[in-house]
Amino acid sequence: MQCLSAVGFILLKAIMKFYTLILLCCLFNFTQQLNEQDRCVCELTNKEKAFPHETLNSVNENASKCSHTVSPQKALELESLLLGLKVRLPQLLKDVSTLEKEDDGELYGVVSLQVIENELIEIKNMVDRLNRTTQGFQHLTTDSGRQLNHLKADLEQLELYDILQVEKSRKANQRLKRDLEICRNDAQPTPHPDDVQTSDICPHGKFVNITGPRFYSNGESTVSHKYGGWGRDPKPELGKENWYWRVILNVNNIFANHITFYSSLSTLTVGIKLPGNFIIHPSNPTTNTIQGPNVVVYGDALFYNCYNSDRLCRFNLTSKTVSTLQLPQGTRYNSKGNFCHLSECYVYTDMDLATDESGVWLIYSTVHDFGNLVLAKVEEGDPPTLNQTWHTSVYKQAVTNTFMACGVLYATRFINNGMEEIFYSFDTSTGEEKFNLGIFIHKMCPNINFLNYSPVDQLLYAYCDAYMVSYDVLFE
C-alpha cells in the first residue's frame, strides 16, 4: 500500500509541476505581446494541436483523489490492529492455561473466567475491526491500481506536448516565479495587534457545551488500577505530534514512577507501548515520584505533584531529568485538599495540573483560603515558576475536578453515576465567577478522577475508573 501511495504522490507532484509551468508560460507570452505591441507585430502560427488542458485537469484531479484515499494513516491502522492481535492472543492462551491449572475439580474460578471472557470479547471486536479494515483495503487496492494505470497512460500522452512547450519557456518561467515570490513577500499583510491577542488566547470562541463520548477504551487490561491520566502534548516536539501519553497510578491510587507514550491513538487502544515507558526513577515510590492522577504533558515535559511534598515537579522527557518548584506556604498536599463528592473523596488529588491555549495551569488549595480553589499560571522554565495567582470562592472539596479552556477555569460536580455537571467557571481576564453553567457530561463510569482540556484537538480528556474517555468541546 505504501508503495502505491508513494507512486501516486510522485505522479501527482510531476503533474502539478507541469501544470504550473504551462500556466506561467501562457502568462509570459501574453505579457510580452502587450509590451512589444507598439513596435512590431509578429504572427504566430501554431502547427501543433492545442494543448489538452481538460485532460490534464482531469488527470490532476484523479491523481489527487487517489493519493488522498491511500494514506499512510490507513496502513498504520491495519498494522497496529495486527500487532495488537499478536500481543493479545498469546496472553489469552496463557490465561486459559492458568485457568485450567486453577481447576480444583469443582468450578473454575469465577474471576478468572470473567477476565478471559472480557479478553475474548475484546479479541472478537478486534477481529471484526480487522475484517472491516481489510475489506476496505482490498477495495482500495484494486481501485487505486486501476486508477494509476489510467493515469500513467494519460500522462504518457501528455508528455508529447510537454517537450514542445515547456522546455522553451523554462527560463522565462523561472524569472517569472522569482518576480512572483518577491511580489508575494512585499504583499504580506501586517497583522493588527488587537486581532492577534484575542485569537491567540481563544481561537475557537466561547466554550458552550460538551458532546460525546468520542473515544472510550481501557487500552490494556488494567481495571485494577483505577486512577490515571492520559492525553496529548499541546506543544509537541517535531515528530511527536501524534503521540498519546498515559500515566497509570499504582493499585492504591497514589503514585507512579513512569509515563507511557504511544505513537498514535490506535496503538494506544490496542496497548502497543511504542515508544513506550519513560521512567522517572527505578524505585517506586521515591523522591520526585508522580503523586495523584491530575498530571499534564506540555512542551515535552510532564508536570505533576512531587511525591509526599508540596512541590511541583517537571520531568523533561528528553533529558529525563526533574526540576522542582516549592509551592507557597500553606499549600495543602498529601490528600488533605482533595476533589470530592458526597460519598467519596478522590485520594491524593490535592494538585490539579491543566493545559489550555496559553500553557500550563495549577489548581490547588491553601489553608489561608479556607480550602477554596486557587488558580496559578505556571511558567514553563526549568525549574518552572508560578506567575499570576487568582483566588476563587468555590470550596475545593465540593468539586470533583477542574480544567482550563481559553483562560477560563471550569469546575465539575457529581450528579449521579451517569452524569457529571460542569457547574462553575472563573474567567481570569475579568475575574467573573459563574455558579450555574448547567453543562452535563455523560459518564461511562461513576468516578472521573482526571479531566483536562486539550487545545490541539479541542477535546476534553477524562480518566474514569481505569477507562480513557474523550469528549468533544463545542465552542460558540
Ligand X SMILES: *[C@@H]1O[C@H](CO)[C@@H](O)[C@H](O)[C@H]1NC(C)=O
Q: Which is nearer to ligand X, 127 or 251 (CB)?
A: 127
CB atoms < 10 A from the CB of 70, how many? 26
What are all long-range contacts of 440-448, with beta carbons under 8 Å and residues at least 24 apart? Answer: 440/210, 440/415, 441/210, 441/412, 441/471, 442/212, 442/213, 442/418, 443/417, 443/418, 443/419, 444/213, 444/216, 444/469, 445/417, 446/417, 447/226, 447/344, 447/346, 448/400, 448/401, 448/412, 448/420
Exposed e or buried b for every residue in 207-226, given b needs 16+ CB within 10 A?
Answer: beebebbebebbbbbeeebb
Query: Smallest distance from the beta carbon of 156 to ligand X, in angstroms?
Result: 12
Residue found under cell 481561537: 203
Residue 422, strand partner residues: 412, 439
Q: Which residue is nearest to ligand X (CB)?
A: 319
Q: Is the peptide bond before 384 cis (omega within 30 degrees of 0)?
A: no
Helix (H, G, I), strand (E, B) or coil at 275: strand
Rounded Cα gap, residues 248 and 466, in angstroms: 8
Inter-axis angle of helices 53-69 and 110-186, to 10 degrees? 150
Task: Give contact residues for ligand X (rule: CB under 6 A).
Answer: 55, 58-59, 62, 131, 150-151, 154, 209, 211, 299-301, 316, 318-319, 379, 382, 385, 387-388
Q: Closest approach of Cβ 210 to ligand X, in Å?
A: 7
Measured from the CB atom, is 95 or 472 closer to ligand X?
A: 472
Minimum separation from the CB atom of position 370 to ligand X (A): 26
Please say which residue, 97 or 197, places its beta carbon nearer to ligand X: 197
Provide, rounded to whole angstroms, the least separation between the CB of residue 450 and ligand X: 22
CB of 388 to ligand X, least distance (A): 6
Nearer to ligand X, 207 or 255 (CB): 207
Among residues 299 and 371, whose Cβ is nearest to ligand X? 299
In the bound state with ligand X, the residue whose beta carbon lies nearer, of 398 and 464, is: 464
Nearer to ligand X, 370 or 435 (CB): 435
Nearest approach in angstroms of CB 301 to ligand X is: 5
Task: Give least dist CB 317 to ligand X, A.
Answer: 7
Contact 390, 377 (CB under 8 A): no
